[in-house]
Structure 1
């Protein structure tokens, strides 16, 4: 079971939604605390791709290495970061539906150590505040492109 999750319908084709999610320059638009996301590996984005995320946390920059651990184009992908006994896994699922694309997002946090129960709850709360609205932001970014005023 996910620590937190969300789902939305985006009135765009699956390919457009998937491509937007995997265009690294777009990530700060849907994850406002992410300042930058850089690809560390040479190959095209897919399973095994490593990324360096720079995130602003309370006015300070923090970096984390992220790896794409599962990847099926236009269907799903999973990212995972592991540091200091903390594992953060984000999963994205895309399904083509009549209205466009059904997108689901699931987040899981794992912590090893003596105080893992208490620190895990706090970390989940922080991540949910920071990233819990990413699908809402994704929908707004993709659908605003079609909102051209009529004259």
Structure 2
């Protein structure tokens, strides 16, 4: 079950939406806190591949390793972060819709250890504030309809 999720219809073909999201170098265009993504290669990311994400959190740059969990062309893409007892998985699913593509995002947050379990609700709320609007940012970026980040 997702801890938070969102869907949007984007007036672009499914291939274009999938390619944009699965090319993680575009993340900073629809996730404002992401500064940079370092990929091992320019090729197709396979499950098990790892990328390095740099984010600005409260004015500080933090780096985190992300592992690709699934990547099926034009269907779904997901990655996971696992750090200090906090595992977050971000899943994107794509389907054809009238006039374009339905993009669905869900975040699944798991915690281990007493301290993390106690603060899980706070952590989920913080992640939702940081990443919860990414579907509307994604729509704006691909359709060119909204403000740039």
TM-score (norm 1): 0.90
Match in the other structure for 1:93: 93
For residues 6-21 of structure 1, the aligned pairs below 5 Å read 6-21=6-21
Structure 1 or 2, whichever has the larger Rg, is 1
The runs of 4+ residues in structure 1 deviating greater than 6 Å are: none
The Cα shift of 1:43 comes to: 5.3
Aligned to 2:111: 111
> What's 1:139 paired with?
139
In the TM superposition, 1:35-114 aligns within 5 A as 35-40=35-40, 44-114=44-114
Structure 2, unmatched stretches of 5+, are: none
How far apart are 1:122 and its partner, in Å? Answer: 1.1
Aligned pairs, number: 145
Shift of 1:26: 1.6
Secondary structure of 1:115 counterpart: helix
Normalising to structure 2: TM-score of the pair? 0.91
State the Cα deviation string for residues 24-71 of structure 1 (Å, max 9, x = none).
Answer: 332111000000011136753222221100000001011110011111
SS in 1 for 2:114: coil
**Offset of 1:117 from its aligned partner?**
3.0
Over the aligned positions, Cα root-mean-square deviation in angstroms equals 1.5
Q: Are the equivalent residues in 1 in contact too, given 2:55–2:63 (CA < 8 A)?
A: yes
Contact 2:22 2:77 in 1 (8 A): no
Kindly indicate whether the alpha-carbon contact (under 8 Å) linking 1:10 and 1:143 is maintained by their aligned counterparts in 2.
Answer: yes
